[in-house]
């Protein structure tokens, strides 16, 4: 998808832990935060690592056997256990918060280049605040956060 293009309205990013959860139904959040690594742009090593965490978030219905081998500092892909389950990115709350904060910073710095509208920025910020609430509750409970999406 090209920057500034139209989005499918049927994308849900699920963020959950035993301490609570939230479903982001905003397609702009998916394209400009979760899939930000797909934009052609120079990045520092730390920025690339953060965006790679978000890019690793699996589609809930994909059955990719290679996904089970993906992991990094503070995160891993947990494969589906059976046909009624799906793969998720499992991350420490701190790792996920850091990745989202870097994505937010990059998006703000490049919003004009990506042709992100003020309305999209405002809705992305609202979603990031809601997701941060889930992350804070998980951190307080000392549990990891799981993330997947369905499109």
> Is there a domain that residue 2 lies in?
no
At 116 the three-state DSSP class reads: coil
Give CA separation, 60 vs 84, 89, 132, in Å: 11, 10, 21
DSSP H or E segment with residue 107: helix 93-114
> Is there a domain that residue 118 lies in?
yes
CA pair distance 45, 54, nearest whole angstrom = 15
> Is there a domain that residue 86 lies in?
yes
pLDDT band at residue 99, thresholds of 50, 70 and 90? very high
Cβ 51 vs Cβ 106: under 8 Å: yes
> Is there a domain that residue 7 lies in?
no
> Is there a domain that residue 16 lies in?
yes
> Is there a domain that residue 59 lies in?
yes
User: Rounded to two decimals, what is the model's pTM?
Assistant: 0.88
pLDDT at 7: 54
pLDDT band at residue 147, thresholds of 50, 70 and 90? very high
pLDDT at 4: 44
Q: Which domain holds residue 123?
A: 12-150
Q: Is the confidence at residue 87, as pLDDT, over 70?
A: yes
pLDDT at 52: 94
Look at the chain and report how many structural domains it folds into: 1
């Amino acid at each position: 998808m090209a920057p500034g293009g139209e989005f499918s309205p049927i994308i849900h990013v699920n963020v959950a832990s035993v301490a609570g959860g939230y479903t982001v139904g905003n397609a702009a959040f998916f394209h400009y935060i979760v899939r930000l690594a797909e934009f052609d742009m120079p990045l520092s090593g730390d920025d690339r690592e953060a965006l790679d965490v978000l890019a690793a978030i699996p589609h809930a219905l994909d059955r990719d056997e290679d996904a089970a081998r993906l992991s990094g500092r503070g995160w891993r892909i947990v494969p589906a256990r059976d046909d009624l389950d799906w793969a998720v990115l499992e991350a420490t709350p701190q790792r996920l918060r850091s990745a989202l904060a870097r994505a937010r910073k990059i998006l703000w710095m490049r919003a004009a280049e990506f042709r992100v509208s003020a309305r999209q920025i405002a809705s992305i910020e609202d979603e990031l605040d809601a997701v941060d609430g889930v992350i804070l509750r998980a951190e307080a409970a000392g549990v990891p956060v799981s993330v997947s999406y369905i499109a």
